[in-house]
Structure 1
Amino acid sequence: MMNAPTLFTPLRLGAVEMPNRLLMAPLTRMRAGPGRMPTLSMAEYYTQRAKAGLIVSEATAISQQGTGCPNTPGIYTDGQIAGWEGVVKSVHMAGGRIFLQLWHMGRISHPSFQPEGGLPVAPSAIAPQSGQALTESGLQSYVTPRALETKELPGIVAQYAAAAKNAWRAGFDGVEIHNANGYLLDQFLRDGTNHREDEYGGSVENRSRLTLEVTEAVTKIWGADRVGIRFSPGGVFNDMRDSDPLATFSHVLHELNRFGLAYAHLIVSTEEDIRHGAVPVPLATLRKEFHGPLIIANGFTRMTATQALLEGVADAVAFGRLFIANPDLPHRFQLNAPLNSPDESTFYGGTEKGYTDYPALNLEFVQK
């Protein structure tokens, strides 16, 4: 294939022109300041990685109800918007592009985060059977969430719309709807967590309804060409399961074609994930269902990402751990240079150690 793209072939995602096909994946780092406000350190962190074709920000709470762990940022107060505005300006000054990922944690929360100490909300009153909630006072057992009433769901859509508007105020280049990893929209989509008997439960058409309503609301604010969406079709993180994930995700991806989104972003199941209970969902089948640009993520290397582009199973690849440890990852890949190893002990919370102190490529290597 003479004209097969490489990681360094430019790509247009909707309204965004990417100089390369390496995205920085959304990565929870738990380093927001008081009031869930972005900090100067966060601005430095993202700006160091501005050579990514596109940065997708860490998952960002759309409301207090949508929060569920310490020191993650929000986009629902004026202070948070102002903090993100500083991050975005810094990234733009370095020549980068950045989308905000919109997040509602649903049942993966705890009363200590909720307004007036209420129960977390979910499609159905089903508690996660694995893991624990990380709270300000340490790990605690998940509670059984409160099932949202049908009449409350327009309010959930409105939370996403308000957050999308706030992201626009902060100057982002677009937004990504977080529909993956066992959070609220994923909880509605999959039948392991959605046992509703109204028009938002039962059939795959009904279970997809909230995702499509949120997408419609967000695209009305941004225009579809500045909106992406992320799924984890085979994922079991946060005690997720579905009786037929291929049918579920094929349906929702097909239905999303009506919007003309900038991209869909899929977390693929690795062999290690499958050993831990994840389900292999054929990427080639999902690729056929969605007609726009497709991004894939989860453990790719320079070699495997290049191969995926060569085979045409995706248009771009998102990198997480490698971008954590290598702020200049595109440059290193281009030179086939050595990579820094990520320090897992510093992934969540802490200071600049393991956050903004990873070195860029040694000048001596570049000059060889």
Structure 2
Amino acid sequence: MILVTGGAGFIGSNFVLDWLRDLGEPVLNLDKLTYAGNLENLASLKGDPRHIFVQGDIGDRALVERLLREHRPRAIVNFAAESHVDRSIHGPEDFIQTNVVGSFHLLEEARGYWQGLPERERLDFRFLHVSTDEVYGSLGPGDPPFTETTPYAPNSPYSASKAASDHLVRAYHHTYGLPTLTTNCSNNYGPYQFPEKLIPLMILNAVQGKPLPIYGDGLNVRDWLYVGDHCTAIRAVLARGRVGQTYNIGGWNEKPNIEIVKTVCDLLDELRPDPAGPHARLLTYVQDRPGHDRRYAIDARKIERELGWRPAETFDTGIRKTVRWYLDNVAWVEHVASGEYRHWLEQNYKARGAV
């Protein structure tokens, strides 16, 4: 059995679903079920004895200690995090509490559990921490992509909180010998993503004929990684990664935001034509967010060289799958796009003139 934290969120739920489909090893899933955690993501596992769900906080040390003692997982995969830059600007405290303090409590309980294991189990145990490329800061147009040795330079409360958790994970390996692994990924997209993020927000707004808010000039560049590819990469790192190492995971898909949005519009024009005209008519440039990093790019050659992993999806294949999924899963979208989501749109976009 493995313990997955944050396994009802976007990436975590995709990981749990793929893990049980492809490997079948039981999963203990701990998730706080904040606004972005959604048990509907895991509806297909209802009644499946291989999936044990527990609602709870990684910062609840008594709960984590009990779960580790009772279920004796061979690994912990930590997805649990607050993860939206805009939300961190409006309210950074939640990010510090979950991403820094929560990670610390989880590491402490993992260390105590690991130290008490029999020697063979202790040698096999792994703690895999899932992080982001945003910890590296922002790149200029001609700068080389981020590598695993790029100095940290976080520019938002979110990325600063993730950088802090990365440093804690590193410290627990070097100080206590905890067998840790860290992954830093680029922007994920795909099924089950909460629609505050760029791609699902654009799909939902376009289908409803609402403005498509583009920050600044729309030329901020990101590397885009299909979530299914991210899941296979994490599995590769967990199975074969060198203890104490960091692995960057990217999709080799650097694109400016405006190109992403126009691609979504073109696909919707094909798959769900709007009688009112092309969806690109809804493009609306709005005030940029504070501290908006200009460019991220991931050099993922280390994971390819050491573990033989490369993404299976191109951006063209992944974005088509993603748009189709949102169009085909109207019930999921309607349940997710409820009061909390509407409140967030009002809070973040009204002042920018895009609501």
TM-score by length of 1: 0.35
Bigger helix fraction: 2
TM-score by length of 2: 0.36
